[in-house]
Structure 1
Amino acid sequence: MSQKFIPLSVPNLKGRELEYVTEAIETEWVSTGGRFVDEFEQNIASYVKVKGAVSCQNGTAGLHVALQVCGISMGDEVIVPTMTFVAAVNPVRYLGAEPIFLDCDDSLCLDVEKLRTFCLEECEVVEDKLINKKTKKQIKAVVAVHVFGNMCDMEKLVEIADQFYLKIIEDATEALGTFYTEGTLKGKYAGTIGTAGVYSFNGNKIITTGGGGMIVSNDEQFLKRAKHLTTQAKSDEIYYTHDEVGYNYRMTNLQAAMGLAQLEQLEDFIETKKINYLFYKRELDAVDGLSLLEFRKNIRSNYWFYALFVDNPYPLNRDDLIKHLGERKIQLRPIWDLISYQKPYYMNQTYRIEKAKTYLRHVVNIPCSSNLSKEDVQHVINCLKASGV
């Protein structure tokens, strides 16, 4: 019998998803009204311990609105990581602003020390505004992406943002459930430390609504404006008057029904993913040329994706390994190509992009679904070991 296909990351729908979605259908609340949308928002806010949450159609929409509410507009600049998914950067352009690309550190997240140096050496503070010496434009914000369930060094980032008048938008689309376990931010969840945070519920995320996203904040005025923008900016619900250009971004009741059931299982998903990660790490770190990248020591990660570093003396390079395991029905994925290399952005300003280039050449993601069995993990390990012989 041929080995079954082992995908990279797929949903785990073994909870009350069908029950809740069926209720939404039977009550005929399938669009943006219905009890599940409000309840999902409330439960997410409660889980990550913030004042409120605003649902949206996906993480990209959430970042778009969060940036707009933070005051990003035509002619502004925003600092972003080059090592991320493009959805973290495109919303900057939606608003007519321009990204400035920075390097990653060994967590694969934004290198905050290089951010500090960039602000000190390449910028100047003028009347409580950070001005880019090269372009003479104001840099208003930084997008902190918590990559693969890891976490940016938020303690230092908050300090730098305060010093240089930057707003922090946390792209926590991959990090729902990750939080600090020690330090000044102990107990704080990814997405709850900056001005706003955004989560994604895409099909490959740790919990899914098929699509969907969520904006969270402790700023009640921010939340009010975000909800206003995501619901077409109606100033009068009865007479359909609108006081600005808004968006049809609100999550549907069907999506929220699934999300509510998924959230009930989140901690179990994280525990399973942690167990599988530690199993992989123990076995693969013993293979010459392979190492599973670690998460920060001062956080409880959600262990969303597992990043495998492939180097000499392992006989296969990154691309050959992807092809080799693909032939054995095991899906691997290379890390994203750097956004500053992409056609829409290759003319944008960059600053000391170094480590990201190395990780780009050497990192692959290996299967990490929360419904991955121990036997599946063992099979992936066996194939990786056999490929190294």
Structure 2
Amino acid sequence: MTSDPQTIAVMVLERIRTVIGPFSRKAVVALHEPDFSDTRAAELVQDCINTGWVSTAGRWVEVFERELSAATGASHVVAVANGTVALRLALNLVGVGPGDEVLMPPISFVATANAAAHLGAIPHFVDIEPESLGLSPQALRIRLEELAERRGSTVINCQSGRRIAAILPVHVFGMPAEIEPILAIARAWELPVIEDAAEALGSWRGGTHCGLFGSVGTLSFNGNKLITTGGGGALLTHDEALAQRARHLSTTAKLPHPWEFQHDAVGWNDRLPNLNAALGVAQLEVLASRLERKRLLQERYREAFRGLEGVELLEAPAGCRVNHWLATLRFTAEDVALASRQRLALLERAHAEGLLLRPVWQPLSTLPMYREAPAGPLDRALEAAERLINLPSSPQLLISHG
């Protein structure tokens, strides 16, 4: 088979059309679009308007948290304004503060690093493993053994002199990271684990939902997620004390009183408004059908790309149930530079034809504000960033295109 980038781009687009149907500059197909056509969203939002409960108080916030608990198995759920503040609050709950380092992978949305930076902490980047694209347990172990030292109950980076305060794995594109060995390393070093499960609602490793392995996990309900509340996020935990603290700090640390404004800590105004929660409740009612449509869409992509040399469809790690948030292709040419040119040719041709494919995020370690952050060898992450591309993944594509 030819390795010519333009030829491969044409063949990939032909196969995408067999899955999602036609697209053009007049009929653009986006990556992952919100859809309320199969929900009671209008009815529940109208209830908020009719009753006047549109802000952070209101019954739909409680219902949303309760339904998320049922869907994930979390003992406690705290709904907040977006996924970034969920991560920032989660890190704060386990004691991350100014000058601390947080170990994390560089392949993630920028919010993962920003959440630490918002607390005055410093991202410390560790390489990924290729199957799930998540934090590599082996790279994590080597990195800690190379530079970390325990001083009493504190883990110190001997190179920087700063405290290492937490480990922050990411479940990329909804694929569960290799979390069990990460937890074992965390226990050995007595470090808390905060899971960025922003994209992983409906994804499980074994019998545990993503976000419920560590101390706290976080979800996002941004407009491009499987379930959207416009903006929105949530903390998941089995720890009642952490949940109570999260609820308190996310409501400006206000003490209950009929009329007095008493606050006992520096808190944030982070709670999810009732209007947004109503959107979430309406979509959680159809979560199972959306997950099934996503599974079928992945199957169709698998069949379409079967036998096409030069690309491979990323699949769920063994023993996992995955929400298939974003179907992802990897260009497999041995030469990374060639794979990068092939990917660029596909992006250019696709966007010119009305198909809004997306490359993986630029590695966080290469962004200007994080270039000087501590990091181990990042060979796999930097290579993955040149090879990966996301395909149209809206569950309603199966309805609109059959």
C-alpha contact (below 8 Å) 1:293/1:309 kept by paired residues: yes
1:57 aligned partner: 81
C-alpha contact (below 8 Å) 1:236/1:242 kept by paired residues: no
Distance in 2 (CA, whole Å) between partners of 1:32 and 1:124 is: 44
Q: CA deviation at 1:2?
A: 7.4
2:168 aligned partner: 143
> Which amino acid in the other structure matches residue 86 of structure 2?
G
Deviations 1:133-181 (A, max 9, x none): 1012221101111000101111111111100111000110000111123
1:343 aligned partner: 368
C-alpha contact (below 8 Å) 1:122/1:132 kept by paired residues: yes
C-alpha contact (below 8 Å) 2:340/2:387 kept by paired residues: no
What is the percent sequence identity of the aligned residues? 36
> Which amino acid in the other structure matches residue 230 of structure 1?
S
* Compared CA separation, residues 214 and 117, structure 1 to 2 (3 A): same
1:233 correspondence with 2:277: no
1:202 correspondence with 2:222: yes
**Equivalent residue of 2:193, what SS?**
strand
2:6 aligned partner: none
Deviations 1:69-128 (A, max 9, x none): 110111211101111111011111111111110111111111111101111122122213
Distance in 2 (CA, whole Å) between partners of 1:98 and 1:132 is: 12
* Compared CA separation, residues 359 and 376, structure 1 to 2 (3 A): farther
1:121 correspondence with 2:146: yes
**Equivalent residue of 1:79, what SS?**
strand
C-alpha contact (below 8 Å) 1:140/1:165 kept by paired residues: no
**Equivalent residue of 1:85, what SS?**
coil
Deviations 1:269-314 (A, max 9, x none): 1111111111112221321211111221111001101111124488
Distance in 2 (CA, whole Å) between partners of 1:376 and 1:254 is: 31
Q: Give the 5 Å matches for 1:266-277.
A: 266-277=287-298
Distance in 2 (CA, whole Å) between partners of 1:118 and 1:34 is: 46
Q: CA deviation at 1:337?
A: 0.3
TM-score between the two structures when normalised by the length of structure 2: 0.89
Question: 5+ residue gaps in structure 2?
Answer: 1-21
Pairing partner for 1:6 from 18, 29, 32: 29
> Which amino acid in the other structure matches residue 231 of structure 2?
G
Deviations 1:349-368 (A, max 9, x none): 11010111111111110100
Q: Give the 5 Å matches for 1:1-389.
A: 3=24, 4-13=27-36, 14-106=38-130, 107-181=132-206, 187-237=207-257, 238-312=259-333, 317-373=342-398, 376=401
Distance in 2 (CA, whole Å) between partners of 1:30 and 1:374 is: 32
TM-score between the two structures when normalised by the length of structure 1: 0.92
Question: 5+ residue gaps in structure 1?
Answer: 182-186, 378-389
* Compared CA separation, residues 130 and 19, structure 1 to 2 (3 A): same
**Equivalent residue of 2:98, what SS?**
coil
Deviates more, 1:277-286 or 1:82-91: 277-286
C-alpha contact (below 8 Å) 1:233/1:243 kept by paired residues: yes
Distance in 1 (CA, whole Å) between partners of 2:23 and 2:245 is: 54
1:387 aligned partner: none
Distance in 2 (CA, whole Å) between partners of 1:122 and 1:72 is: 19
C-alpha contact (below 8 Å) 2:101/2:163 kept by paired residues: yes
> Following TM superposition, where does structure 1 have runs of at least 4 consecutive aligned residues deviating by more than 3 angstroms?
311-316, 374-377
Deviates more, 1:2-11 or 1:75-84: 2-11
C-alpha contact (below 8 Å) 2:23/2:353 kept by paired residues: no
Distance in 2 (CA, whole Å) between partners of 1:2 and 1:306 is: 18
CA RMSD of aligned residues (A): 1.7
**Equivalent residue of 1:30, what SS?**
coil
> Which amino acid in the other structure matches residue 114 of structure 1?
A
**Equivalent residue of 1:235, what SS?**
coil
* Compared CA separation, residues 352 and 315, structure 1 to 2 (3 A): closer
Distance in 1 (CA, whole Å) between partners of 2:256 and 2:276 is: 26
